Amino acid sequence: MSVKFHLVTLFPEFFESPMEVSLVGKAIDEGTIEIEFHNPRSHGAGVHRQVDDAPFGGGAGMVMAPGPLAETLDPLATTYRVLLTPSGAPLSQDHLDRFACIDELTLVCGRYEGIDQRIVDNFIDEEVSLGDFVLLGGEVAAAAIIEGVARLLPGVVGNPESTVNESFRGDGLLEEPHYTRPSEFRGWAVPEVLLSGDHKRIAAWRREQRLERTRKRRPDLIPE
């Protein structure tokens, strides 16, 4: 299983370090993921290779013009094309599970106030947002998707179980707190139950912790 990402971005250099370090770098080295950059600037208009223009109807900011984007996206028509935009559906683990099964995934990073709607209507399969806040562009969201997909692919994460028993999987609750040695650190003790060796009590404690955290922080995730 592997995924080829096509990144449509005006700022390919943004991805240099995040794609080199950690397990994402390893996944690229091992061919589990592949990344190809496509810069709409190379299809920009005039000597300045302009890619944006003022919005019809007036208003603040600039809009990414359809021409350079269409020319960038024409050869990517057979891939699954995702636009990163604050107007998209909020990114979830379900998206990542789905994207990890796609051979070629195109991530289109918007900039400026947005992109011409005719591009969205005719070239984009799905719109995704990183959350209910506005960034300068889609690059951070694209990097999040690449990392989230990479860790689901075979061989990227050492212990595959760690991608199964985690928040947003299994019982759908947030994860319980974790502790490791030493059992006392700067006077702060590890909860006694975790040292008891009583697996039934430990499992019950962990579930209670998951429920309590979820009730407090994400009541929307508690099953009816």
- Contacts to ligand ADE by CB under 6 A: 84-86, 110, 129-131, 133-135, 137-138, 141
**In terms of CB distance, is 123 or 156 closer to ligand ADE?**
123
Closest approach of ligand ADE to the CB of residue 132, in Å = 7
Token couple for 46? 């005039």
**In terms of CB distance, is 121 or 132 closer to ligand ADE?**
132
* Angstrom distance (rounded) from CA 147 to CA 139: 12
Closest approach of ligand ADE to the CB of residue 153, in Å = 22
**In terms of CB distance, is 85 or 214 closer to ligand ADE?**
85
Least Cα distance to 147 among 15, 13, 8 occurs for: 15
**In terms of CB distance, is 32 or 85 closer to ligand ADE?**
85
Burial of 74 (0-12, 13-18, 19+ CB in 10 A): exposed
Closest approach of ligand ADE to the CB of residue 191, in Å = 37
Token couple for 36? 């190809």
* Angstrom distance (rounded) from CA 123 to CA 79: 10
CA 192 to the chain's CA centroid? 37
Closest approach of ligand ADE to the CB of residue 95, in Å = 12
Closest approach of ligand ADE to the CB of residue 107, in Å = 10
**In terms of CB distance, is 145 or 173 closer to ligand ADE?**
145
Looking at residue 104, its amino acid is E
Closest approach of ligand ADE to the CB of residue 177, in Å = 29
| Cβ neighbours, 10 Å, residue 77 | 9
Helices (H), the chain: 22-29, 66-73, 93-99, 117-123, 139-150, 199-217
The vertex-193 CA angle with 191 and 198, nearest 5°, equals 160
